[in-house]
Amino acid sequence: MTGRPARRSGDSDDREAILEAARGAFAEHGYDAASIRGIAGAAGVDTTVVHHYFGTKHRLFLAAANVPIDPREVLASVVDGDRAEMGQRLVRAFLTAWDGPAGSAGVALLRSATGNRLAGKLFREFVVTQILGKVQSSLGLGLDPADARLRVSLVASQMVGLAMVRYVLRVEPLASAPPDLLIATFGPVVQHYLTGDLSPDD
């Protein structure tokens, strides 16, 4: 290795510099406060270069956080349909994504989010800004924001735990269980977290 080659505008160095600046900005300031302008400035490129490579702030965030699937596309199929079966649809969509080609990227994402502070903050921003808003507007019906936030973090706890046990730690029988068994088992619990009565029994 003879050191990093000089930067050339428009090449993959720009792309990497933008991603690095984006990771810092999203982790430091959060998704909403981070700006394409600020990220472009930190990366030493024009904002048009950012848009050229990544299109929108949303897509730049997914790339920066190494999220292999756009949750908006997955969530669309989850929130459409019978509200009482949203939990099952969510588990099904989750397993389809993780059992598919994006699964190994998902494992890598969980590994880095667990082992690396910056990646962990990005993951948290991802859950809160990309999933919470969508779920909240879908559950809608006057749900107060604090309640929505609690429900989303409960669902996140079960989904992250399922991913950890099935794909990362590979604890049996969950590691090899057929998706239908998991949908039948976790679906009602996720549904409970989404729409059930969470107040204590007594």
Spatial contact of 151 and 193, defined as CB atoms under 8 Å apart: yes
The residue within the footprint of a second copy, chosen from 169, 178, 179, 195 (CB under 8 A), is 169
Site mask, a second copy, residues 139-158, x = CB under 8 A?
A: -------x--xx--xx-xxx
What are the phi and psi torsion angles at 142 (to 5°)? 75, 15
Q: Report how many helices (DSSP H) and strands (DSSP E) the chain contains, helices first.
A: 11, 0
Nearer to a second copy, 43 or 93 (CB): 93
Instruction: Encode burial over 114-134: b for 16+ CB neighbours within 10 A, e otherwise.
Output: eeeeebebbbbbbbbbbbbeb
Show the tokens assigned to 37: 């302008």
Instruction: Determine if 179 is a binding residue for a second copy (CB under 8 A).
Output: no
Which residue from 165, 155, 163 is spatially nearest to 99, judged by alpha carbons?
163
Site mask, a second copy, residues 92-131, x = CB under 8 A?
A: ------------------xx-xxx----x--xx--xx---
Nearer to a second copy, 82 or 172 (CB): 172
Q: What residue ranges bind a second copy (CB under 8 A)?
A: 110-111, 113-115, 120, 123-124, 127-128, 146, 149-150, 153-154, 156-162, 164-166, 168-174, 177, 184-185, 188-189, 192, 198-201
